[in-house]
Structure formats: structure tokens, C-alpha cells
Homo-oligomer: A and B are copies of this chain.
Amino acid sequence: MKIAILGYGNLARGVECAVSQNADMELKYVFTRRDPSSVKTASGVPAKNVSEITQYRDEIDVLVICGGSATDLPEMTPKYAKDFNVIDSFDTHARIPEHFAKVDSAAKAGGNVALISCGWDPGMFSLLRLYGNAILPEGKDYTFWGRGVSQGHSDAIRRIEGVADAKQYTVPVESALASVRAGEDPELTTRQKHTRECFVVAKEGADLSAIEQSIKTMPNYFDEYDTTVHFISREEFERDHREMPHGGSVFRTGATGAGREHRHVIEYSLKLDSNPEFTASVLLAYARAIFRLKSEGKTGCMTVFDIAPAYLLPMSAEEVRAHLL
């Protein structure tokens, strides 16, 4: 399978690296909107300007689109689905139906397969929510995120006056997790599920208490949470907060039996040292699936819900049954 990447940020670098862990895949090109001579890829694979992408059509089985959900993907994924099998990690939940419709018609017009909203949330967490709801139709869903870095919240802090740099960690509340895990079906407010921990490098002479106040009262991002702010040096920031760990847990709880007397707890948990590298690894498994589905003559847009699990592995159905069932 010949893979190409569009974009060259953290996620793209994760894809580049993950290709080397999949023996049936080969990375052909990285496409960029920048001057390609300014992009030095880690693997040495050639960088090309995206304006030339269609001339490489025959050399690419799946194009992995590594852009932002706010403005890049809504435009890019439908555009390139006309010429390539494409996959993205679009994560603006509310706009998924609209994005799906656009990508679907482009992919169908081009006779390609596309898969959107892939990764771990949306992605694996969505799948586990689906399986949980199918198995326990009467029940409750819980999702906890963290401990991990939220890019959006870190960016929001960096926009505050006097802030030089910042990382925000989303932290699940241990007692809430324990209660869900014990099958107690608690009702939890936003504040009871997660806390937010911020590490901030202030500019010289900045008003620290004003920064702290701005963070803690920021609507949508922080005001509904218990937030802790730590001011640290640039040195400490570079030493301890360069990585992008993340993770979380999806639960489905419910009861069965004539009197619903038997309780069940289903938990799926991820502990990830690198959010972009894990997301990239999920993208590649699904890239394999859409390539195989395309070979079977399928076209159009799909999500993880539409992919039979057997398509994700580079083995025959017999081997998978013999070794994994």
C-alpha cells in the first residue's frame, strides 16, 4: 500500500513514523502548502507542493489528510476525495453530518473511498460507545479524558496577554472514575468529572494574578471547572512539558435480569504517551481498510462504524479467526 500525507505537523510526523511499523505500507510523498524545499521530512521521503498532487495519482493508494478540523479539513477532505482514497481525523462533532455529506458526494463522484473522523475520539472511543450501547441497550455512557494535554485549551491560554507559553492538562477526577468503575451509576456534573491543570510561562513583568484570573474565568474553556494554574520558568516548561500525552476512558454500564438485578461495567481505557502518534496509528489501520474496500469496488464516505474489523489487519480471514478469535 502506497501512502501519502497531506500536511506536515505533529499528526503527519506520527503517520510518517507509523508507516515504518506496518510492513505492508510504504510512504511515497509528503504534500505541503509551503515551499517543499523548506520541508525536511524525518524519513527522507520527498516533500512536494500540494498544487502538484494530482500528477502523483497513480502512485498513491491512500492520502492521509493531516489538517486542522476548524478550517483545513472541511475544505481539503472533500477536495481530495475526488482524486484519492482519503482519510482524516475531523473532530468537530457537531459538524460531522455536514462534513460526511460533502466528502461522500466527492468520493462517489471520483469513485474513491473516504473515511472521516478517525483516531481515538472520535474513533476508537466512538466505536466502544457503539458496542456498549448495542450490548447494554438500557444503560449509561461515561467518557473521561486525560490525564493529557488539550491543544485547544493550551492555545486559549496562550492568547491571554502576558502569556509566553502554556500547556493545559485535562485530568479526570479519580473519585468519579472509581464510582463509575464500581457500577454506582453516579450523576456527574462537568466540574465533578474533570479538573484542569495549567502550566504557564509568563512574559517578563506580566501581571500573574490577572493571567490566573483570566484563565479561571474563561467561558466554555475553564469557568465550569476547578482549575489550577502553575507559573513556571521557560526552562522547566521545555524540560517537563514538551510531550503530548493523552488518553481517557469510555464506560457503558447497565443491568440485566428479570428485575435488572445484575449489573455490568464495560470499560475501555487508553494511556498514551503521544496523542498524535497513537492517532496516526489508528489512521493507518483504517487506511488499510479503505484501500481494501476500494479494491472490492466500494465508493463513498465511511466512518469507523462502517468498517468490519477484519479489514484492519493485513491477514486473511482464516488467519485472523485462527489467531485472534
Contact = CB atoms under 8 A, between A and B. Distances in A.
Interface string A238-265: 0000010000000000011110011111
Interface string A282-305: 100100100000000000000111
A324 B133 contact: yes
Contacts of A267: 267-271
Contacts of A18: 256
- How many copies altogether? 2
Interface residues of A, number: 71
A70 interface: no
Contact of A321 (B96, B136, B261, B282): B96
A264 B256 contact: no
Interface in A63-120: 93, 96-97, 100, 117
A262 B278 CA distance: 9
A266 to B, nearest CB: 6
A97 B321 contact: yes
B274 A313 contact: no
Nearest to A20: B258
Contacts of A232: none
A256 B308 contact: no
A127 interface: yes
A134 B285 CA distance: 6
Contacts of A178: none
Contact of A183 (B271, B309, B325): B271
25 contacts: A14-B256, A23-B137, A93-B325, A124-B131, A124-B135, A134-B309, A181-B271, A183-B271, A256-B277, A262-B272, A262-B278, A263-B273, A264-B270, A264-B271, A264-B272, A267-B269, A267-B270, A267-B271, A268-B268, A269-B269, A303-B321, A303-B325, A305-B310, A306-B309, A307-B308
